[in-house]
Amino acid sequence: MTYPSTVFFIVASARSGSTSLARILDTAANGTCAVEPMPNLNRETRLAMDGCLADPMAVVRQTIVPRVQQQEGDVYGEKNVTYGPFIPHLHQALGCRFVFLTRDGRDVVRSLVNWHEQKFGTIYRECRDPGHLSPQALKSAASLPVHQDTSDYARPRPRPGDPLYGAWEHLGRDEMCAYYWSRLNDLYLDRLADLPDDASMRINYTSPTADDVLRVAAFCGLTGLREGVVRKMLDRRINSLSDREAPDGLYPDWKDWDGGRRRRFDRLAAATMQRLGYYTDPATRWRPATYGQWWREHDGGLDWYRWMYNSRRKMHEDFIAWVRARERAGEPIESLADFGCGLGVGYADAFADKRYVGVELSEKNVAWCRENRDNPNHAYLCRDFVAEPFDEPADVVFSSGTVDNTYDMDACLRSMVLSARKWIYATFYRGWFPHLREHRYAWRPEHHCFYNDASPRRLRDTLEALGCEAVCVEPVPTGNTDVPFETRVTARVPAKRT
């Protein structure tokens, strides 16, 4: 009996690219990498995750160890998505290495849902929404009774005592997949952390390069892989829907998720996204690297901002009148903060007698204001006000036609509330969308900003959840024909604790 000198396992969540990596590594000259060899521990992994498997080591010794011992060649590897609970036992029994392959959870959720709808129809079969199944997927589901479907059984579910246990049957498939991705990756992270550092390496397969794959090959002791071949195999998108001759799915790319999808995903998977480094900002979830570049680079100058102001003059005048009305009603407004102030057109003059702080993402605009606007009671700050609440609370924090260009409208409102002493006031220039249950986000890479449609219901829910009172979300006539109504939000913020 020969025994490979090096044994490795690729561990990952499903739809992360592990089949692609395994196929590429299998082209090595001195070893093999098997894709989901049987028995694949589908049942055992669920039992282990549920705490119902008495002796995981016995399972490993009876199934995987004999299979490894039968292999010839210097290096032997396997990929399976079910080995999470068995990592310490595999390491103890075989002294093996682990390649921990990760992919952005949002991409995995999309891939799983599309895989279900276009190909197999069998992912989280208990989900209340069967999904928009292709004929191929429906036929596949009908031909695989659930008691024989060990792949779906292998996916984790909340156990009694878990806060999600009762809510599970009400979740959508995307939420179940987010739970799956999060639970599995947390399991891998936890188990691998208990092994020596040199026993595992991680590869981020969200956008893998040939270099990434060659580093994995070196870690596994595999030789003979050629960069050009690796690159071609990566380009083939092995095991994607198109590779498996199925139509592309309908589930949207995460960059086009509406606010509901983003919130549902984050509720279940944000902590793991942060653990894996896919989220770097704890306050907000989605900030493209080039976000805001347009404002930073745009060189329209004062004329352009005047034109912008005049194009929505009524909305601006409405706000100024609202401030005056509050004062007439006996509520002094001494300070205002303007989120997305541009060059301060209109407001710097309207609020000349007050403390006015313009906040801008564009350093160029802030520099221009500091140089050209000399009211000693006014100040201009450069910061991403979505993520960073204002540290000089103002009586009123307002934003005119900017929130709908930000990467997270709810986070922007939250930041406004945290920065205000009395009121927030925001107008949304894109229009009034009373039918939307969730915010609709659309990233335009050519403009490096978002063009979002705000859901009135979600705006209200967000503000009420923040403790605001007198929340008013309403359509306001613009007098224009292209956008006859804008959305206006006013809310009294909760008193700040001192």
Partner 1 sequence: MLKRLLGKLAASVRNPRSGPLSAYRAETGRSMSAHRAQVAENYAGRTNPFAYYERLLDGLLDTENLTILPLCEMTEGSPAGTRVFGLRHDVDADPEMALRAARALARRGMAGSFYLLHTAPYYGEFHGEVFVRNPLLPEWVRALIVAGCEIGLHNDALGVYQTHGRDGIAALRTEIAWLRSLGAVIRGTVAHNSAPAYGAENYEIFRGRGLWRREVPGPGGRPLPLGAVSEKRLGLAYEGTFAVPREDLDPAAAAAFCADAAAANVRSRGWMQRYLLDNPYCRWDVDVQFWLVGPDVWVIAGRVGRQTLWEWEVPLARVLERVAGLPKGTRSVMLLHPVYVRGA
What's the CA gap between 333 and 325, in Å, rounded?
10
Count Cβ neighbours within 10 Å for each residue of 132-160 and write b for 16 or more, e otherwise: ebbebbeebbeebeeeebbbbbbbbbbee
**Rg of the chain on CA atoms, in Å:** 28
Q: Which of 168, 304, 322, 485 binds partner 1 (CB under 8 A)?
A: 168
**Range 103-122, binding partner 1 (CB under 8 A):** 121-122
- Which letter does DSSP use for residue 255 in this model? G
- Can you tell me whether residue 139 is helix, strand or coil? helix
Closer CB to partner 1, residue 142 or residue 193?
Answer: 142
Q: Could you give the string, one character per residue 39-68, with x where binding to partner 1 holds by CB under 8 A and - elsewhere? A: -------x----------------------
Q: Which among 20-28, 60-68, 135-143, 395-403 is the span making contact with partner 1, rule CB under 8 A?
A: 135-143
**Which two tokens mark 37?**
């060899």
What's the CA gap between 112 and 119, in Å, rounded?
10
Compute the least distance from the CB of residue 123 to partner 1, in Å.
9
Instruction: Name the amino acid, one letter, at 368.
Output: W
Closer CB to partner 1, residue 171 or residue 222?
Answer: 171
- Can you tell me whether residue 420 is helix, strand or coil? strand
Q: Does residue number 131 form part of the binding site for partner 1 (CB under 8 A)?
A: yes
Closer CB to partner 1, residue 119 or residue 458?
Answer: 119
Q: Evaluate whether 155 touches 55 at the Cβ level (below 8 Å).
A: no
Query: Rounded to 5 degrees, what are φ and ψ at 162?
Result: -75, 135
Q: Which of 34, 57, 65, 144 binds partner 1 (CB under 8 A)?
A: 144
Q: Could you give the string, one character per residue 67-106, with x where binding to partner 1 holds by CB under 8 A and - elsewhere? A: ----------------------------------------
Q: Which of 10, 25, 49, 127 binds partner 1 (CB under 8 A)?
A: 127
| CA dist 278 → 15, 286, 406 (Å) | 17, 10, 20
Q: Could you give the string, one character per residue 6-45, with x where binding to partner 1 holds by CB under 8 A and - elsewhere? A: ----------------------------------------
Q: Which among 25-33, 137-145, 352-360, 384-392 is the span making contact with partner 1, rule CB under 8 A?
A: 137-145
**Range 145-164, binding partner 1 (CB under 8 A):** 145-147, 149-150, 152-153, 157
Compute the least distance from the CB of residue 180 to partner 1, in Å.
13
* Residue closest to 386 by CA, chosen among 483, 325, 322, 452: 452
Compute the least distance from the CB of residue 154 to partner 1, in Å.
9
Closer CB to partner 1, residue 131 or residue 340?
Answer: 131
Compute the least distance from the CB of residue 286 to partner 1, in Å.
31
Alpha helices in 143-194 (DSSP H): 150-154, 173-193
Q: Does residue number 496 form part of the binding site for partner 1 (CB under 8 A)?
A: no
Closer CB to partner 1, residue 121 or residue 292?
Answer: 121
Q: Could you give the string, one character per residue 414-443, with x where binding to partner 1 holds by CB under 8 A and - elsewhere? A: ------------------------------
Compute the least distance from the CB of residue 149 to partner 1, in Å.
6
**Which two tokens mark 485?**
């109504």
Q: Evaluate whether 454 touches 486 at the Cβ level (below 8 Å).
A: no
DSSP codes of every residue in 263-329? HHHHHHHHHHHHHTTS---SS-S---TTTTHHHHH---HHHHHHHHHHHTHHHHHHHHHHHHHHHHT
Binding positions for partner 1, rule: CB under 8 A = 46, 121-122, 125-128, 130-131, 133, 135, 138-139, 141-147, 149-150, 152-153, 157, 168-169
